[in-house]
Amino acid sequence: MNKSTNQLIECVPNFSEGNDLNIIKQITNEIESVEGVKLLNVDPGKATNRTVVTFVGNPEAVIEAAFLAIKKASEVIDMSKHKGEHSRMGATDVCPLIPIAGISMEETAEYAKKLGARVGKELNLAVYMYEAAQENKERNNLSVIRAGEYEGFFKKIKLSEWKPDFGPAEHSVKSGSTVIGARDFLVAYNVNLNTTSTRRANAIAFDVREAGRVKREGNPVTGKIITDEKGNPVNIPGSLKSVKAIGWFIEEYGIAQISMNLTNINITPVHIAFDEVCKKASERGIRVTGSELVGLIPLKAMLDAGKYFLEKQQRSTGVSENELIKIAVKSLGLDELAPFRAEERIIEYLLKDDSKSRLIKMNLIEFADETASESPAPGGGSISAYIASLGISLGTMVANLSSHKPGWDDRWKEFSDWAEKGQNYKNELLKLVDEDTNAFNKIMIAFGLPKSTDDEKKARTQAIQEATRYATEIPFKVMQLAGESMEIIKKMVEIGNPNSITDAGVGALCARSAVIGAFLNVKINAKGLTDKAFAAQLIAKGSVIESKTQELENEILRIINSSI
């Protein structure tokens, strides 16, 4: 098997055209023509006259698609006529590769160099490497490379220190020059202001960006620049690490923005950047009215933002994924300038394979009808996982009601933590609803394999055993999660809102039924395993979970019955 089939990288090229949709479509058509690549997002900006494209795939396919896109951009974009708010130096201004799964940054950087060499040689374009793909640390920063922009690069490229890494030392009049590299995931993010002043926006950008501003004597704008003993300008650092920022006016919207690149959202996440800009803007008499995401964002960044703003309100964070995203969008004002569609902007949603979650996408009637049909799946395993998810959902509901109960304000965080744990169990159990059916289907596929020759028989037998083992492990996982969820349900019976104690009791009944039901599936599937030691070990563990769960159920019912 080709190693690259297990590896996934993202490519986010920025093309210097944001108005002519026909030109943009010609470029993206080239990307979509490559097998093994999925186009995730196309985000044109009229004022910046720039389009950010995002696609993913195995490395070889990605660099092939990137090359074709760069080639097409060099054909259809004329930089000599280009105008836009964003810094730029070429038709394909920058083309970063980002490791997503199964690949290191070092390996990704090698693919970037391979792409750069091909662009330089076959397209005769000047190519500069940046970030992890650039060994010379004096020229690995994109803003340093791009300084002077398209207009200034005709002279800059002739300087010995700015000889391109690949291609000729000539800045193409029509296509400019290109920067290719490898970097971590970057979030391009703009914050909207209630001002039209670029100077005021820049002042706020300098307040927050890591590089800060040059230190001056007296007047911070016109005063003499202060230098160190080597004659280098002294900087006053900004308040946010791993953030690049600049202020600009967007004619399309009629407002100024703080345009930011969040280069490490583990250090400065989106919600912290937003709040800090709000603070610095307020200090200057300016108000933030909303914000704008350019390109894609990881799911975790949105969930973390939702939790952050709920915590500021002293409200439970143990709510659904959809609710957290909704809170994040409203709190950040991501829908001020245009609708924010999570399914188009969150990278995990774009990569999600809905065929693997067919059952939980159904409504209640469809799910019941599918279960009642002549098809053997979904069967008892999937139903056990589903009733377990309902059980912990009831326990989570009690935690949320308790967190928001009048008079219990000092305990909101305690119940919020319980609710968040409950949501995690619910989410995992919902995944297992479909996975149990998928596991059953794997067995059916294995039994359908050819068995004409000895080798085919051997391969078929092995496939059946592997599928059977997996179909045994899935319901056992349901048992584990459902059993563990009983602890949360019991806690809610003990300390939760007394008005909802019976709801938690029904949750306990669901969880107990799920454990017993899933165990039936474990036992019947384990019978088909030739690895009898593994089967016996799993059944022994299952018996312990079943026994403990029944004890918890009795204890929970005793508490409830003594209270009603």
Same domain, 427 and 516: yes
Torsion of CA 194, 200, 202, 206, to 10 degrees: -110
What residues contact 285, with CB distance under 8 A and at least 6 apart?
none
Instruction: Report the CATH number at residue 417.
Output: 1.20.120.680
Cα-based angle 372, 374, 380 (whole degrees, multiple of 5): 55
CA atoms within 13 A of residue 418's CA, in its CB half-sphere: 30
Same domain, 177 and 200: no
pLDDT above 50: residue 429: yes
Same domain, 260 and 135: no
What is residue 280's predicted lDDT score, i.e. its pLDDT?
97
Same domain, 167 and 194: no
Domain end marker among 131, 162, 182: 182
Catalytic: 86?
Answer: yes
Catalytic residue of the set 43, 165, 207, 436: 436
CB 98 within 8 A of CB 265: no
Residue 96 belongs to what domain range? 3-182
Strand partners, 11: 55, 97
Q: How confident is the model at residue 104 (pLDDT cuts 50, 70, 90)?
A: very high
When mean pLDDT is compared across 373-382, 418-427, 529-538, the lowest value belongs to: 373-382
Alpha helices in 77-226 (DSSP H): 105-122, 142-146, 149-156, 198-208
User: C-alpha distances in angstroms, 542 versus 4, 106, 425?
Assistant: 39, 44, 18
What is residue 535's predicted lDDT score, i.e. its pLDDT?
96
CB 529 within 8 A of CB 469: yes
Same domain, 176 and 305: no
Same domain, 373 and 510: yes
What residues contact 515, with CB distance under 8 A and at least 6 apart?
384, 388, 478, 479, 482, 483, 545, 546, 549
Give the pLDDT mean for 448-468: 94
Instruction: Report the CATH number at residue 162.
Output: 3.30.990.10
Domain end marker among 324, 351, 378: 351
Same domain, 536 and 408: yes
Domain end marker among 138, 155, 182: 182
Coil, helix or strand at residue 254? coil
pLDDT digits (tens, 9 = 90+) for 530-541: 999 999 999 999
Same domain, 32 and 60: yes
Same domain, 408 and 540: yes
The whole-angstrom separation of Cα 69 and Cα 90 is 13
What is residue 498's predicted lDDT score, i.e. its pLDDT?
95
Whether pTM exceeds 0.95: no
Cα-based angle 78, 91, 169 (whole degrees, multiple of 5): 100
Give the pLDDT mean for 357-384: 93
Same domain, 193 and 341: yes
Catalytic residue of the set 82, 86, 171, 271: 86
Number of structural domains (the chain) is 3
**For residue 252, how many other CB atoms are within 10 A of its CB?**
12
CB 295 within 8 A of CB 261: no
Same domain, 263 and 126: no
The whole-angstrom separation of Cα 346 and Cα 367 is 27
pLDDT digits (tens, 9 = 90+) for 177-198: 999 999 988 899 999 999 999 9
Catalytic: 271?
Answer: no
Same domain, 176 and 192: no
What residues contact 466, with CB distance under 8 A and at least 6 apart?
446
47 burial level (CB within 10 Å; 0-12, 13-18, 19+): middle
